[in-house]
């Protein structure tokens, strides 16, 4: 029984950490590849979650819904809608410098939160959307959790392989060039704005998918479920700790920081009773200090970015130099 409990916890842990890993990979496209600062992660996450929730739940008198679609459809549309939001935001704001973009993305996150909270017809307001179907529920609880973990891991593998391909491709090189030296990249004839927009939209789409997975994992979402600041913050800590610019770093960071975060839960169990209600704050405090230590001691992260070699040619032709 003890082993069963431990196994259940492990599956739970891996699933949630895996969802964060998807988010962290998404942020890596924006920050790691292209150097764009996004503090509105929670906004894209929420758009993904709500899209999946509305598309897959049964009819309800309290919010838009009743489509009852398959969860894979939900995942895809969640990514697409999140991308659409990023496209709109990007067209307005991507011309901005890092600091300005960071400020603008707080605004996006805030507006999304306000809309979810106040547009009752769409989201049932603060009461949230319950009863989001868990995929594979027909297989019983244990197998369901394992299968869902499989879906999360599969998503990670697909996203990771695609991003690794993108990173080594000319597209990824242009992104890094923009990050390191924008005027030079522009002088080399690249459409900088377009490349940045592509990275921003791609990263946000991945976050949307992550949000959809989260909705199916927890089964109930409400505006209060996203502490926007914390969600955004923890994804940032994951990427910085793992090593921004490195996809494997993004994955490592996600699992490691989520392990630390879960670990602080055990640490706060020893708090005096009158402080247990404030344990959450103490945990955030510890993670905040952890970030500062990482920034001071190892700002490049555990797995620093390394310069990629060009993709080896499949035939014996020499590698052609492309843009």
Does residue 229 touch another protein according to CB under 8 A? yes
Contact between 285 and another protein per CB under 8 A: yes
Kindly tell me which residue out of 47, 104, 149, 206 binds another protein, with binding defined by CB under 8 A: 104
Please list every residue from 128 through 167 that binds another protein, using CB under 8 A: none
Is residue 240 close enough to count as binding another protein by CB under 8 A? yes
Q: Is 190 exposed, middle or buried (0-12, 13-18, 19+ CB in 10 A)?
A: middle
Which CB atom, from 87 or from 111, has the smaller least distance to another protein? Answer: 111
Measured from the CB of residue 239, what is the shortest distance to another protein in angstroms?
10
Question: What are the backbone dihedrals phi and psi of residue 114, each rounded to the nearest 5 degrees, phi first?
Answer: -60, -40
Distances in Å between the Cα of 165 and the Cα atoms of 158, 170, 236 are 11, 10, 23
Is 217 an interacting residue with respect to another protein (CB under 8 A)? Answer: no
Residue with tokens 């990007």: 90
Q: From CA 310, how far away is CA 191, in angstroms rounded?
A: 21
Name which position in 66, 150, 170, 299 contacts another protein (CB under 8 A): 299
Nearest to another protein of 137, 229 (CB atom): 229
Q: How far is CA 276 from the centre of its chain?
A: 29
Contact pick of 118, 181, 265, 276 for another protein (by CB under 8 A): 118
Sign (positive or negative) of CA dihedral 282, 285, 291, 294: negative
- CA dist list (Å): 67 to 70, 137, 151, 169: 9, 18, 22, 39
d(CA 15, CA 217): 8
Taking CB under 8 A as the rule, does residue 277 contact another protein? Answer: yes
Separation between Cα atoms, residue 240 and residue 254, nearest integer Å: 10
Q: Of the ranges 63-71, 94-102, 154-162, 164-172, which one interacts with another protein (CB under 8 A)?
A: 94-102
User: Quick check: 118 and 130 in contact, CB under 8 A?
Assistant: no
9 binds another protein (CB under 8 A): no
Closest CB to another protein among residues 135, 301: 301
Site string (174-213) toward another protein, x via CB under 8 A = ----------------------------------------
Q: Which residues bind another protein (CB under 8 A)?
A: 37, 39, 92-93, 95-96, 98-100, 102-104, 106-108, 110-111, 114, 117-118, 229-230, 233, 236-237, 240, 275, 277-278, 280-282, 284-285, 287-289, 291-292, 295-296, 299
């Amino acid at each position: 029984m003890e082993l069963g409990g431990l196994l259940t916890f492990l599956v739970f842990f891996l699933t949630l950490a895996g969802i964060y890993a998807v988010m962290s990979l998404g942020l890596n496209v924006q920050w790691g590849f292209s150097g764009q600062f996004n503090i509105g992660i929670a906004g894209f996450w929420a758009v993904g979650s709500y899209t999946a929730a509305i598309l897959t739940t049964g009819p309800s008198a309290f919010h838009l819904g009743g489509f009852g679609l398959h969860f894979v459809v939900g995942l895809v549309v969640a990514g697409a809608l999140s991308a659409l939001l990023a496209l709109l935001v990007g067209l307005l704001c991507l011309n901005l410098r890092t600091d300005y973009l960071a400020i603008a993305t707080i605004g996006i996150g805030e507006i999304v939160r306000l809309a979810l909270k106040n547009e009752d017809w769409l989201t049932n307001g603060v009461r949230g959307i319950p009863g989001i179907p868990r995929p594979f529920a027909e297989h019983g609880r244990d197998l369901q959790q394992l299968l869902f973990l499989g879906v999360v891991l599969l998503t990670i593998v697909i996203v990771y392989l695609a991003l690794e391909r993108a990173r080594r491709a000319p597209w990824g090189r242009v992104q890094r060039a923009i990050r390191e030296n924008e005027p030079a990249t522009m002088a080399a004839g690249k459409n900088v704005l377009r490349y940045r927009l592509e990275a921003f939209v791609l990263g946000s789409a991945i976050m949307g998918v992550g949000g959809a997975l989260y909705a199916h994992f927890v089964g109930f979402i409400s505006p209060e479920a996203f502490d926007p600041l914390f969600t955004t913050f923890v994804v940032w800590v994951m990427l910085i700790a793992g090593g921004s610019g490195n996809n494997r770093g993004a994955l490592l960071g996600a699992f490691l920081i989520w392990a630390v975060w879960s670990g602080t839960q055990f640490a706060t169990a020893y708090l005096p009773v009158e402080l247990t209600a404030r344990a959450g704050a103490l945990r955030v405090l510890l993670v905040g200090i952890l970030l500062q230590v990482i920034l001071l001691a190892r700002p490049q992260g555990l797995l620093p970015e390394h310069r990629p070699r060009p993709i080896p040619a499949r035939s014996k032709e020499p590698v052609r130099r492309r843009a």
